[in-house]
């Protein structure tokens, strides 16, 4: 499953990332991580203090990857509207849900300040980044003066995260796609 050049600790982190996304914290056993990583029984404890330490490394990596993917479109070319549109329309595995957002539904992650911190930081970063882009659009006259950047950013995040939930519940991407289309219609600059 993994290339020969990947270190054992990297395989463990990647395996934990995948399993946390699929099964959540409780459903991710050390045995499952080791099996998926193709690592020996003592490997996890050689590289990490235990499951919580490995989970934290995996959650941090997932959060970092999500921020990188979001920044690739939010910091890309185009007007503020085009960049928000690119973020909303970027390729996602909608039926799997958001690997960071799904962690907010895991009671063990939420109960642990340490495990929850990368999730909170990532969602706060996304909110602030989107609010800045909306403010930029207002400053350029692209978005109306009545729009409140923080509220629009919250709406974008809620549309994406809620869209994941609705898509997973129905087994179809239709609800996600409809929410995104509706939000884009509301945000679209008026023709002058």
Tokens representing 131 are 């609010």
Domains and their CATH numbers in the chain? 62-187 (1.10.357.10)
**Residue 2 pLDDT exceeds 60:** no
Alpha-carbon gap, residue 122 to 64, rounded angstroms = 8
How does pLDDT run across 70-106, given as a tens digit for each residue? 999 999 999 999 999 999 999 999 999 999 998 998 9
* pLDDT over 90 at 4, yes or no: no
What lies within 8 Å, CB to CB, of 97 at 6+ separation is 21, 164, 165, 167, 168
pLDDT at 46: 86
pLDDT digits (tens, 9 = 90+) for 6-54: 889 999 999 999 999 999 898 999 999 999 999 988 888 889 998 999 9
pLDDT tens digits for range 114-150: 999 999 999 999 999 999 999 999 999 999 999 999 9
State the Cα–Cα distance between residues 106 and 118, nearest whole angstrom.
14
From CA 57, how far away is CA 110, in angstroms rounded? 16
Q: What is the pLDDT of residue 1?
A: 54
pLDDT at 192 over 50: no
- 67, 129 Cβ separation under 8 angstroms: no
């Amino acid at each position: 499953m993994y290339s020969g050049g990947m270190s054992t600790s990297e395989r463990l982190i990647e395996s934990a990332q995948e399993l946390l996304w699929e099964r959540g914290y409780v459903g991710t056993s050390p045995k499952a991580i080791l099996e998926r990583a193709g690592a020996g029984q003592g490997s996890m404890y050689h590289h990490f203090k235990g499951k919580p330490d490995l989970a934290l490394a995996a959650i941090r990596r997932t959060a970092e990857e999500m921020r990188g993917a979001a920044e690739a479109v939010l910091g890309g070319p185009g007007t503020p509207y085009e960049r928000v549109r690119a973020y909303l329309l970027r390729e996602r595995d909608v039926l799997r849900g958001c690997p960071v957002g799904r962690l907010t539904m895991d009671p063990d992650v939420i109960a642990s300040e340490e495990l929850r911190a990368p999730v909170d930081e990532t969602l706060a970063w996304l909110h602030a980044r989107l609010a800045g882009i909306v403010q930029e659009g207002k400053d350029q006259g692209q978005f109306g003066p009545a729009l409140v950047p923080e509220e629009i950013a919250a709406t974008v995040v809620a549309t994406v995260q809620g869209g994941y939930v609705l898509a997973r519940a129905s087994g179809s991407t239709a609800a996600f796609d409809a929410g995104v289309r509706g939000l884009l219609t509301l945000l679209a600059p008026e023709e002058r």
